[in-house]
Amino acid sequence: MKTRVIINPTAGAKRARERLSKHRSKLERAFGDIEWRESLNAEHVTTLAHEAAIRGYERVLVAGGDGTVHYAVNGLAGTQTALGIIPVGTGNDVAAAVGIPKNLDAAINTLIGNHVRAIDLGEVRSVPSSKGPPQKRIFCCVLGVGMDTPALKRINAAKILRRGRLLYSLAALKTILNYKAQPMRIHFNDQIIESKVFFAAVTNTQSYAGGMKICPQAKVNDGLLDLCIIPPMPLFQLLRSFTQVFNGQHVKRPEITLAQSAKTRFDSDSPIPITLDGELTNIQTPIEIRALPASLRVLGAPVTTTLTRNLAHALKN
């Protein structure tokens, strides 16, 4: 059965095409009939992925980072077509979560092993209102509410620094210094937290933004989504909490709320925009979020010590 490869030519500082070209013949030997396509924009990734699923392709391999994966997943969720991730983006947290190493040679070898398993996804719906019809999107990594939006705007506007941990850190630092926590009502597990929130994340994977371990206990196959709520704090404590996110030590802070839930709802007096898998969106609170258990077929490492080792190595590097 056919394989479609979707290349995001802008991924990895516009080097995705070049890096993948060295592995083209190896993939063709392993998978046989391959159709090679390049995306024209983010939404085109969704179109190409969904088109392949409708046509009954066995797998879609996506060359890019978490943003590219996000748009591919919105075309593949709930279908029998398996997703394979070729990690050539700046953030490859979804690839790490399914045991695909960051090293490209090792990643290709993992993919051609053709081990398929099902993982969970998250779905967010905006609550119907007089301001417009409800919107629905799928995410595979993280949904962010709060400081994520202005931080991402700074990242997207950067002209000199390339995307990566340094740029992410600088954007987060500038945002921490200027962002004002917003009052929210967060519903989960028959609980309600009603207070000002600096940042909240609903995650499917342990990390996002290239290895920031926002919910270190998260699993992509437990049927649940993980929740991390960071309240306003004195500046020094906020800065300390931010640095601790890189190794997951922020979870020890008593001010931070951690939970797991199949459903979560965010309400606010004023609309607050959300981000999905490191992408800006036009979706705003109020929103309802639910886990979609085992709703995406993926190529990756078998669920053994190999997966654990690959995940640990990917997050470390």
- pLDDT, average across residues 110-123: 97
- pLDDT, average across residues 290-294: 98
For residues 160 and 274, state if they share a domain: yes
For residues 213 and 90, state if they share a domain: no
**At how many degrees (to 10) do helices 66-76 and 42-54 cross?**
40
For residues 25 and 131, state if they share a domain: no
DSSP SS3 for 167: helix
- DSSP H or E segment with residue 21: helix 16-21
Amino acid 130: pLDDT:
55
Amino acid 195: pLDDT:
97
DSSP SS3 for 156: helix
For residues 233 and 311, state if they share a domain: no
Query: Rounded CA gap, 131 and 70, in Å?
Result: 26
- pLDDT, average across residues 229-244: 94
For residues 242 and 264, state if they share a domain: yes
* Short-list 116, 121, 28, CA closest to 75: 121
Worst-scoring range by mean pLDDT, 41-55, 79-93, 127-141?
127-141
3-7/59-64 β-pairing: parallel
User: What pLDDT, in 10s, does the model give residues 41-61?
Assistant: 999 999 999 999 999 999 999
| pLDDT band at residue 317 using 50, 70 and 90 as cut-offs | very low
User: What pLDDT, in 10s, does the model give residues 140-162?
Assistant: 999 999 999 999 999 989 887 77
Amino acid 166: pLDDT:
81
Structure tokens at 117: 């398993």
- pLDDT, average across residues 68-73: 98
User: In CATH, what number is assigned to the domain containing residue 19?
Assistant: 3.40.50.10330
- pLDDT, average across residues 6-20: 87
DSSP SS3 for 262: coil
For residues 133 and 281, state if they share a domain: yes
For residues 176 and 249, state if they share a domain: yes
**Domain count within the chain:** 2
What's 62's DSSP letter? E
The phi, psi pair for 219, rounded to 5°, reads -130, 145
| pLDDT band at residue 129 using 50, 70 and 90 as cut-offs | low
For residues 111 and 126, state if they share a domain: no
For residues 169 and 141, state if they share a domain: yes
Query: Rounded CA gap, 118 and 194, in Å?
Result: 35
User: In CATH, what number is assigned to the domain containing residue 209?
Assistant: 2.60.200.40
pTM of the model: 0.92
For residues 27 and 134, state if they share a domain: no
pLDDT of residue 305 exceeding 50, the answer is no
- Please, are residues 117 and 298 in contact by the beta-carbon 8 Å criterion? yes
Range of the domain at 194: 122-293
Q: Report the percent of the chain where pLDDT is more than 70.
A: 94
For residues 90 and 204, state if they share a domain: no
User: What pLDDT, in 10s, does the model give residues 252-278?
Assistant: 999 999 999 999 999 999 999 999 999
User: What pLDDT, in 10s, does the model give residues 172-221?
Assistant: 889 999 999 999 999 999 999 999 999 999 999 999 988 899 999 999 99
pLDDT of residue 132 exceeding 80, the answer is no
- pLDDT, average across residues 3-10: 95
Spatial CB neighbours of 180, under 8 Å, sequence gap ≥ 6 = none
Choose between 2 and 317: higher pLDDT. Answer: 2
For residues 192 and 159, state if they share a domain: yes
- pLDDT, average across residues 50-79: 97
Choose between 131 and 7: higher pLDDT. Answer: 7
- Please, are residues 198 and 183 in contact by the beta-carbon 8 Å criterion? no
Amino acid 167: pLDDT:
85
